[in-house]
Structures are given as C-alpha cells and as structure tokens.
Chain A
C-alpha cells in the first residue's frame, strides 16, 4: 500500500501487521536512545489545515523517532492562508522532495485528492467528517494491549456518530479485526443509512453498557444543540453521558476510551475521565508507536 487514506483499505493481515509492528516499536520509547535510523534521509511533511496540536505532535514525534526529517506546514501563517489551493501546495511539497505527507483537513476526501497530486505517500490524519484511520488503529492497539484480543470484543461507540471521522474509521477497522461494534446515539446524530453499516445501532446506552467490553465516548460539540440535534446539554448528558453510576453497570474489566479532547460534563463525567479504567493517556502514548509503525510500513521500504 502506498497511502493510508481509509481504515477500510486495510485487510485483516495488513491491519494486524500494523498493530504487531507498533507493539515492537513501543519498546523504543523505553530505551536509552529513543530513536531508530530507519527513515534517515526521508522527508515527512505534516500538512495541517486544522489546528490539532496533539495529532501533529504525535506524528512529528513518530517521524523523528524514525530519524525522518520533519517539516510542519500549517495552514496558518503560510501561503495556504493567502488562498493557495491544495493542489498548488501539493506541488510545492512535491518539489521539496516530500517522501510522505501527513494531512489533516476539514474537507472530507482532501487526503484522496492529495494522493492524486503527489508522488509520495499520503497519510490521512483526519479529513472532514470522513475518516481518521490512525486514530482507529491506535484505538484497536489500545484495546488489544488492555484486553488481549480484538476478535469477539464488544465495542460501543457513543455520541456524535454523524459528524465523527473517528467513528467511521473505527467501525471499518474493528469490523475487519473481528470485533462487534454497536453505535449508540440519539437518532439525529446517526447517519441516515447507518442500518447498512456492518454494526449494531442502539438509542439506549443503559441497555448496551452491561454487554460491552469497551465503551468509546465521542466528543459532542455544544453547537450541535443550536442546530437542534438534541434539545439541551442536560438532556444529552442524562441520556448519553458516561458517569460513575453507568460505569458500574459495565463488566468489571471493561475500559473507557476517548479520542480526545474530552468535554467533561457533556459526554463524560470527571469521575469517569479520571478513573483508571479510562485509557485516554494510554491512547496518546500508543498513538506515537502506532504512527511510527504506519510511517515505517509506508516509507521504510522501496
């Protein structure tokens, strides 16, 4: 594979290879010299059209641990903000000899478009409301590390599924890896064709939690309320927020995940966010190993 644009592009073997590679590379973070020479002389560009310090930093650290040269090309303060088109930016990066471009963009499909304009590998770091494949991979990696398996795992993804690239990538990847996904949200925050997706759908969080090994809470933006996706923050969090009481109803080894940034008091209570069963910081640490694995597999070979 030359690019990583969608979690749906990965078959089971490829996805497993990425997770296995990440597991090996996780050791690098514990070593005296936290660096491998593998991508020496390769150039990775972080092309970020949306502010996301955490994702950009994660990719930057991953690339640097593999000894790649990293250029951060953020939309603000560059020619991009002066109206340069994505295509012209792509050609500029091409001329600079970028071997890999990590792109975050507010438009769905931006990574696909970019892949048509550059020779190097394109890595989708989140495109609009479409996909965020490395997030899904690091989520799967975290689940496997914590619970030892993915096959047969029962995963509930809760919240604004409609606008979530994380949910889309997770449904595709987790299904490929043999987990059972249930999407939980008010009907307004579910895609109209969700019935055709390879997962279950529920409007009732309390009914789903007792038979769930992993609950993944998605961020819900308050602006959705203004657009009448739900009547009030209070009603949303009463029906779909995860608090200590709800956590108690889950199996004792079940974990709580969140791609961040969390909105405490909306989809997750502070008590749950700070509990040892919440893997948020683990996800961040795993993100670096996982992205190293993807960068190596995309750029390390011929």
Chain B
C-alpha cells in the first residue's frame, strides 16, 4: 500500500522546505510580504462581494489551501467583528486521476459545526491550473450539504484551464507556459512563504506531452 505522504505537496510541485532562497533554476514571483498583501486584498474583496461576510464559510483544500483559508479567515475577522467558520475539504476521494498513481494518503476534511447548508462557501486553494481540483471539490461539496453559493479563492491563477471554471478571487494572475511549474511554499507547511516559478519536472522521456498534464510529474496547482 503505497501512499504519497501529505507532507509532500500533493499537486506534484517541487517542494524545497529548508531554503528561503529560490532553488536553482527557479525564481520567486511572490515573496512573503506580497503573499500577505494579496490575502489581505482577497479578504476585503470577500467582504465586499458577500455583503459583510455574515454567511461565509471558508474551506481550504489540503494541503496548502487549508492554512491559506485560516489566514484569510483571520484577516476577515480583523476587518469585521465576526467569526468566520473555517474548515478543510479533502478532495482525494473525488479526484479523476486516482488510477494514475498509487493510492494517496488522505488530507483532513473538517466541516465547521453548523454545516454548509445555506452558507456561502468560499473554497480556498493555492494554485488554480487545470480546474480539476475545483471540479472534485464541487462534487465533494454536493455530498456534504447544500450551500447557497460556492466561490473560489486562489493565491495564484496560472492559466491553462481544462474545465469551465474560474476563480472569484485571485491573489496573482501569473501567465505561465506548460513547461513551467508553480510552487507555493507556506510558513505552516514549508517553513517560509514564497511562490516560485521554475521548469516543470521532466517526464521520464524528458519531453512534455500535452495529453499528459494529469500525470503527477507535469501537474501543478490543480489535480
């Protein structure tokens, strides 16, 4: 029973936990301050779009969406005097590429008390790429309750959608090539904050094929 450990980035991104410097071949596109500013901006946008945020529930998608959701909740709570129910939603069991890799270890799913019915659920993830993770999250939500509305917040939108999905809140739009990888590092999971852009890890043949984007070695952001 091989399962990839959740401590590794489950989006197949290259993780370099120890070094605050961008590893060779990669460059930082957002540093810690920029990430903080982006989250603060998103917090304000959420409050605006949801008319004060009274009905908002934040659900982070593990692994890095979960700490992002908690940070976002803190920022919203700082602006408005309210308690934002925050949890996490693991989408592993809903992935469409389960059979393409050994069984994965599950992330945590924590639905805040009070449930999701009639809430405005804001899904939070680090990178929006193909849209497949969000598709899986929408399926998972459907089995958990009936939110009044579902919105999506991401730290980075790198483009290359494969499904008709868009984000409601974006920290940074980052035009990328398929030959590149986007890596989000967070204090909570990696020891420091950074968003890195680097070359995509080579597939076994050393070439990237358009049809192989759901394979782990060429997938970032979305599952």
Residues of A bordering B, CB below 8 Å: 1, 4, 10, 14, 17-18, 20-21, 24-25, 27, 31-33, 35-38, 66, 296-302
Contacts and interface: CB of A to CB of B under 8 A. Distances in A.
B1 A37 contact: no
Contact of A1 (B1, B101, B142, B143): B1
A37 B94 contact: yes
A38 B105 contact: no
A17 B109 contact: no
- Which of B93, B99, B100, B105 is the most central at the interface, judged by chain A CB atoms within 10 Å of its CB? B93
B105 A1 contact: no
B108 A24 contact: yes
Contacts, number: 64
Given A17-B1, A24-B109, A36 B143 contact: yes
A301 B109 contact: no
B144 interface: yes
A37 B106 contact: no
Given A31-B143, A32-B144, 15 more contacts: A1-B2, A14-B1, A24-B90, A24-B106, A25-B106, A33-B143, A37-B94, A38-B94, A296-B103, A298-B103, A300-B93, A300-B98, A300-B104, A301-B98, A301-B103
Interface string B1-42: 111000000000000000000000000000000000000000
Nearest to B144: A31
Interface of B: 1-3, 90, 93-94, 98-109, 139, 142-145
A20 B143 contact: no
Contacts of B107: 24
A299 B1 CA distance: 10
Nearest to A35: B143
A299 B2 CA distance: 11
A36 B103 CA distance: 15
Contacts of A302: 99-102
9 contacts: A10-B1, A17-B1, A17-B105, A32-B143, A33-B142, A33-B143, A297-B1, A302-B100, A302-B102
Given A37-B139, A301-B98, A20 B106 contact: yes
Contacts of A297: 1, 3, 103
Contacts of B106: 20-21, 24-25
B105 A21 contact: yes
Contacts of A32: 143-145
A12 B98 CA distance: 24
Contacts of A31: 143-144
Contacts of A35: 143
A33 B108 CA distance: 18
- Which of B106, B108, B145 is the most central at the interface, judged by chain A CB atoms within 10 Å of its CB? B106
Contacts of B103: 296-301
Nearest to A18: B1
Sorted from nearest, which 7 A-B pairs have the closest CB atoms?
A: A301-B103, A33-B143, A1-B1, A301-B102, A297-B1, A300-B103, A38-B93
Nearest to B110: A27
Given A31-B143, A36-B93, A20 B102 contact: no
A123 to B, nearest CB: 11
Contacts of A10: 1
A65 to B, nearest CB: 10
Contact of B98 (A1, A20, A38): A38
A207 to B, nearest CB: 39
A35 B93 CA distance: 10
Contacts of B101: 301-302
Contacts of B1: 1, 4, 10, 14, 17-18, 297-298
Contacts of B98: 38, 300-301
Contacts of A27: 109
A21 B90 CA distance: 12
B111 to A, nearest CB: 8
B143 to A, nearest CB: 4
A27 B93 CA distance: 13
Contact of B93 (A14, A33, A37): A37
Contacts of A38: 93-94, 98
A21 to B, nearest CB: 5
Contacts of B144: 31-33
A17 B3 contact: yes
A209 B189 CA distance: 44
Nearest to A67: B93
